[in-house]
Structure 1
Amino acid sequence: MAIETGTQLCEELLEPLQTRFGRVAIRSGYRSAKVTAFGNARRHGASVRFNAGYHIWDMLDGDGQKGAAACVVIPRFADRYVEGADWRTLAWWIHDHLPHAHLGFYPKLCAFNILWSEAPKRRIDSFIARRGCLTKFGMDNHAGDHSDWYLNFP
């Protein structure tokens, strides 16, 4: 299952990102349930329950769906971000162009988790200032064209 879901993550999300923006730096990807449980027992965060079908590619998520995520940095965008570019530029571009299931953005280098799932919820969250949910199914801004955010985007 890890090979199957990892292949989908690469083909549907990571390779199109690399085609569009150049090299993509992978910070983390697959994590075994055993390693996740080990870290959780030592208060390092992630639990098996919440990472199944996310960083744990060979387990179904809580809804019984397959999924695989990676934490990535796009160096070309990270340089712009350090100079003041808004993370939402990249978030909306991905949302409008790729079949992501979840995006989660972080302040350092504008790194983000990107999830492929067989049942994508298409949610975007951020730990960057104005933390919280940018969009999810049911919000007014979820559907439609967000190209005003990335008109001059590389």
Structure 2
Amino acid sequence: MSDFLYSEIANWYSVPNFPYHPDIAIRTDKSLCEELLEPLQEKFGCIAIRSAYRSLSVNQLGNEKGHNCASNEKNYASHIWDYPDVKGYGATACIVIQSFLELSEKDPSNWQQLAYWIHNNLNYSHLQFPPKLCAFNIGWHEQPTR
């Protein structure tokens, strides 16, 4: 859980990044790990967590300061794990898969192969592949949208 709670924004501005509802955050974290992150690690090897859980205050600060954070309402059941969106609870992590990093350096379009594997093999709710840093967001939700 400590990997998921680490936040560059929280550290930079000295703001605590702890769940307001830890029991819910732990439950969603467990589902994110069991249904998405562990199967990815089994298949592709080591995963590094870039960003995961954000408390309401950390996310709001990140949004206000222009640090690529959506509003709190848009991040419920995404990076804010302990507050539901209109469909229920969810959790998102921004990750880097080390073996994918090496493939991506050779051919930047390799992210499509990874996306297809995830789509065909995992019950994710959303995927987002930004064009930099070889990191991507993957989200679990009680009612996945895919």
TM-score relative to the length of structure 1: 0.75
Query: Alignment partner for residue 42 of structure 2, among 16, 19, 23?
Result: 19
Structure 2: how far apart are the matches of 1:45 and 1:6? 22
Instruction: Looking at secondary structure, tell me which structure has more helix per residue.
Output: 2
Structure number with higher relative contact order (C-alpha < 8 Å, ≥ 6 residues apart)? 2
Structure 2: how far apart are the matches of 1:96 and 1:81? 20
- Asked whether 1:110 is paired with 2:108, we answer no
Alpha-carbon shift at residue 12 of structure 1 (Å)? 0.4
In structure 2, the gaps of 5 or more residues are 1-23
Task: Give the paired residue count.
Answer: 121
In structure 1, the gaps of 5 or more residues are 123-154
Structure 2: how far apart are the matches of 1:52 and 1:8? 16
Percent identity of paired positions between Structure 1 and Structure 2: 51
Alpha-carbon shift at residue 64 of structure 1 (Å)? 3.5
Structure 1: how far apart are the matches of 2:66 and 2:98? 30
Alpha-carbon shift at residue 107 of structure 1 (Å)? 2.1
Local SS of the residue matching 2:40: helix
* Partner of residue 98, structure 1: 122
- Equivalent positions of 1:129-140 (< 5 A) are none
TM-score relative to the length of structure 2: 0.79
Structure 1: how far apart are the matches of 2:132 and 2:106? 13
Alpha-carbon shift at residue 41 of structure 1 (Å)? 2.0
Alpha-carbon shift at residue 109 of structure 1 (Å)? 3.7
Structure 2: how far apart are the matches of 1:77 and 1:43? 29
RMSD: 1.1
